[in-house]
Structure 1
C-alpha cells in the first residue's frame, strides 16, 4: 500500500497545562496528547484526508501503547512505529503563556530517545520510495543511528527520479538542545539537502542551514543547494515560498493566539495536502497558513488539527480565496 504522506522522526507524549498564563511550578492540572513534530504533521495530513504513515520508535511502556492508540485514532498508519526495549517513551511539557511565550521542557530524550534509534536496515524502502511526500526533520539528524536511517530513506528516492507528483521535504526544525553546535547541525543539513526537493524553516532555522541573510538570500541558497521549493517563514509577516520560476508571499491569518507550538506542524500537514491537491503555490501557502492559525488559537497540537472545512471557513472569513475545485 502506498501512502500520500510518510513522516519520519520524533514522537512523544505532550503534557500541556489546562491552566493558561502561569509557569509550570504553579500549574495543578494537565492534559495528555500525542506529540512530536513529525507525528503531528502525519496527524494533520490525515485530518485533511491524506493517507499518512509515521516511521518512528517508542518505549516499550504504557506511554508507547498510548501513542500507538492515538495514531490509529487519528487515522495514521502505525505499522512502522516499533518499540525499543530498555528506553522510555519521552514526554514533553510546556507552559502556555500567550501570546508569545511557550517554553518547552523535554524529558526522556537524553542521552537518547527511542525515535533516535530508528535504524537504516529497518526502513521499508518501498514505502518511502512510493510515497507521494516523504517528510523528515533536522532533529532526526542529531544522533546515530537515526541520522543514517534518514539518509537511507532519502537515498531510496533520489531527487532526480521523483515523479512530478512526488516531493521530499526537510523541515529545518533546529532545536539547539539536541546538538553540540550549530556547525555540527549545518554539516548534517548540507548532506541531506542534496537529497530533498523542498526545505521549510524560519529565519533562525534557515540561518543554521545556509547562513544568515535576508529571507530571499536564504531561499536562493536553498535553491542553489538543489531544492525545488524553498519555504521561509516570516513570523508576523507571513510566509514566503520561492522556486526558480516564482516568488509568492502569503500574509498571516490573524487569530487570537492561545498556544503557538502546534502551528508549524499544522502548517506542514496542510502544506502536504495542498501540494497533493495540485493547487497553485500561493493557495497552498494560504491554506497552510490558515491551518496553522487555527491550531495557534487552541491549546493542544495533535488534537487541535483542523479539517478542510474549518480551514476553508477561516479563509472565507478573512477574505481569502478558497482553491478552485476544492472539495475537502
Structure 2
C-alpha cells in the first residue's frame, strides 16, 4: 500500500440516533429514547479509530446543538473532524429506532434538508483526499445533489491519486424517489472502486430492475426483502470494476468474491442479538482496520465479523464500537482470527 500522511477518510452521513429505551416494546409503546450518534461513515470512522487507525470523517452538520453533540463525540473518539463543515441553512440529520429483538428494528429517518447531503465538491477539495491511503464512501450519499456530485468527485480524485476506494453499498430504500436509480448511481462509480462491501439485499438493490422486487416490512428501512438472483448480481458488480466484493452474511460470516470467480467463505462469530443496526458498519470498520494493516482478505473479514458480532450484542452503533484490546479478547475466546 502506498505510503500516505494519513490512513482513512470516510465520506457520507452523520446523525443523532434516538434508540428505544424499552427493549422489546412495540414502537407505539416506547416511553423514552437514548441519544447516540450514527450514520454509516461516522460509525466506520469511530470503529476504525477505536481499533487504533487514523480516521477522518467528511460529512456535514448544521449550525445547531445536534451538530455540537456529534462533533463533541467525535473529538472524544479521536476522529479527525477538520473536514466537517457547518452547513448554513441545513439541519443535522436524525434517526429514531425501535428495538424488538431478534428481528424487528423499525426505523424513521429525518433527512429533509439534512446537512450531510449539502457537502459539495469544494468541501471535498478542502479535505485533501490524496493524502489518505483509503477513501470509504457510502451509497446513500449518492441519493441527492450536491452530495452526489461530491461523491463522484471524491472517488475520481482518489482513483487518480492511487487512493484505494472502498464502497459500502448502504441501501436505504426510503431515501430514493425511484429505487432503480440507486443501482444506476452505484454502478456508475464501480469502475473506480477497488473493494465493494454489502449485504445480499444491498447487492440485489445495486442491480435492481423493478421496484416491485423490494418489500419493506415493519418499517425496517435498513433491512428490506429484495427478490433476485444473488449470484448473477454478484457477477454483474464484479464485472463493473471492483477487484473484490465482500458479501456480509450476518451470523454466517462473510464471503470474499474476486474477479477470477474464486469465492472464500469466512465464518462468523455467533452471538445473541440485541440490535442489528450498526453491525454492517462495525464489519466495515474491522475489515478496513485489517486492510490498513495489510492483512490478507480472510483475516480482514474475520476481524470484520468479530466487530459486527460485538456490536449486535449492544444497543448502540458508534457508541458501542469495540476497542482493540477488548475485541482481541473476544476473538481469543472464540478461536482467534
Structure 1's unaligned 5+ residue stretches are 323-328
Shift of 1:214: 4.9
Shift of 1:127: 2.6
**1:251 corresponds to 2:267:** yes
Listed as ranges, the matches of 1:1-328 within 5 Å are 2-107=5-110, 109-110=111-112, 112-124=113-125, 127-158=128-159, 162=162, 166-211=163-208, 214-244=229-259, 246-319=262-335, 321-322=336-337
Cα deviation code 1:114-158 (max 9, x no counterpart): 100011122136731221110111100000000000011011122
Indicate how the Cα distance of structure 1 residues 296 and 270 shifts in structure 2: closer, same or farther if over 3 A, else same. Answer: same
Aligned to 2:85, what secondary structure does the other structure show?
Answer: strand
Cα distance in 2 for partners of 1:270, 1:235 equals 14
Number of residues paired by the alignment? 315
Shift of 1:185: 1.2
Aligned to 2:196, what secondary structure does the other structure show?
Answer: strand
Cα distance in 1 for partners of 2:228, 2:121 equals 35
Indicate how the Cα distance of structure 1 residues 22 and 250 shifts in structure 2: closer, same or farther if over 3 A, else same. Answer: same
TM-score (norm: length of structure 1):
0.91
CA RMSD for the aligned pairs? Answer: 1.8
Cα distance in 1 for partners of 2:48, 2:230 equals 27
Cα distance in 2 for partners of 1:176, 1:215 equals 18
8 Å CA contact 1:125, 1:153 repeated in 2? no
Indicate how the Cα distance of structure 1 residues 126 and 89 shifts in structure 2: closer, same or farther if over 3 A, else same. Answer: closer
8 Å CA contact 2:58, 2:127 repeated in 1? no
The residue aligned with 1:326 is none
